[in-house]
Amino acid sequence: MSARDPITTSVEHRGGVAVVSVGGEIDLSTAPAFEAVIAEALEEDPPVLVIDLSEVTFMASVGLRILAGTQEKVGKSIQVAVVADNAAASRPMQLTGLDNLISLYPTVDEALTALGQAACD
């Protein structure tokens, strides 16, 4: 195992929107870190949660389960969107139909624009 962590996570708040950024591999060994960063972002009860998976290099089924569980947990009280312009993250979501439950965007800016418009409607 290398000294480099297999996953990186961060939370940023942009005008009330929580943006979770994840990089590296999402698998059984890193799933707790992925769940923890989402829980941290939800602590402030943001109206919108954007999960940026642009830097994810591998996503196992546990990652999909965490995304689906997050959407189920927040229901309609928080808008959830995923940013993934890479096949490692977007393809599993599309193959399983998860992109029908959680909006998928190519960039964080596009997600923020679309969700900002939806919040104003």
Average confidence (pLDDT) over 65-85:
96
Phi, psi of 75 (to 5 degrees): 55, -130
Over residues 57-75, mean pLDDT: 96
Q: Identify the pLDDT of residue 117.
A: 60
Please say if the pLDDT value at position 120 is more than 80: no
CB of 56 within 8 A of CB of 85?
no
Above 50 in pLDDT, residue 79?
Answer: yes
Q: Give the pLDDT band of residue 82 (cuts 50, 70, 90).
A: very high
d(CA 102, CA 67): 8
* Sheet with 48-59, side-by-side order of all strands: 7-14, 17-26, 48-59, 79-83, 103-105
Task: Give, in degrees to the nearest 5, the angle at Cα 9 between 100 and 52.
Answer: 30
**Tens digit of each residue's pLDDT (9 = 90 or more) over 6-58:** 999 999 998 889 999 999 999 999 999 999 999 999 998 999 999 999 999 99
The structure's pTM equals: 0.92
